[in-house]
Amino acid sequence: MLDRSNAHILTPAYRGGASASGENRSAEAIDPDYLLGLLNKAQNALQNDPQDARHYLDRVCRLLRQASRPQDSSLPLIPSQPDTHQAPQAGGLAGWQLREVTAYVQNRLGRPLIVEELALVASLSPGHFCRAFKVSVGETPHAYVIRQRIRRAQRLMLETGNSLSDIASACGLADQAHLTRLFKRLVGTTPLLWRRTWQRAVA
């Protein structure tokens, strides 16, 4: 849950809307060079540090599992990035930083996230990270995380029979009311109505 007074925890209050580039970049089109880099790291670590090698292989497996899911373009999800997002500009995150951060977020949507830990993943100070992230993605880390939570909720609503309360919890939100409030801001309708409409449409 998001409590701006508590170390910039990335969860609740969303103001304005938008998307996420990380989930899509990992799930829709895995960068072959990035994947090869992880495999090379695993191979190099195999002799001296099997646990480290296992860590890299786990990341490869997660990426491949994400890539095997239905493409977002075939599902009625909100955009993965803000409609106002433009091509990368100077001052943004490096490619590896964006990939690492967005993958980190996708793997931890079920719990609170804070700016400081995302900045650490990118090896930047929190202030520098927030500025660079917004340049690269088109919205703040906070807005990005909320967008990803709602996208995850949409996917779960279509692919599972879980209750909205359980889905809210799985997406790192406080409760069903919290999910409903954020969902309506980004999607324009309630989760219940959206689910009824689209479950019939994609069945």
Instruction: Note the pLDDT tens digit of each residue in 75-120.
Output: 688 776 665 555 556 899 999 999 999 999 999 999 999 999 999 9
103 in any annotated domain: yes
User: 9 by DSSP, 3-state: which?
Assistant: strand
Give yes or no: residues 158 and 195 share one domain: yes
Distances (CA, A) of 97 to 36, 45, 94, 169, 187: 16, 22, 5, 28, 29
Provide the number of structural domains found in the chain.
3
60 occurs within a structural domain: yes
In a domain? residue 89: no
Residues 118, 158 within the same domain: no
Q: Residue 168: which CATH number?
A: 1.10.10.60
End-to-end CA distance of the chain: 32
Q: Are residues 160 and 126 in the same domain?
A: no
pLDDT at position 14 is: 33
Rounded to two decimals, the pTM is: 0.63
- Same domain for 130 and 154? no
Whether 162 is covered by a domain: the verdict is yes
Q: Higher pLDDT residue, 111 or 66?
A: 111
Examine residue 90 and state whether it is found in any structural domain, yes or no: no
Judge if 149 and 196 occupy the same domain. yes
Q: What proportion of the chain, given as a percentage, has pLDDT over 70? A: 72
51-63 mean pLDDT:
81
Is 69 a residue whose pLDDT tops 60?
A: no
- In the structure encoding, which two tokens stand for residue 103, read together? 């993958």
pLDDT at 20 over 70: no
Q: Same domain for 198 and 151?
A: yes
- pLDDT for 68 equals 54
pLDDT at 163 over 90: yes
User: Can you give the residue range of the structural domain that contains 131?
Assistant: 95-138
Is residue 192, in this structure, part of any structural domain at all? yes
Tell me the one-letter amino acid at 93. L
Q: Is residue 156 part of a domain?
A: yes
Is pLDDT of 31 > 50?
yes
User: What number of residues does the chain have?
Assistant: 203
What is the C-alpha to C-alpha distance for residues 128 and 125, in angstroms, rounded to an integer? 5
Of the candidates 82, 104, 138, which is a domain's last residue? 138
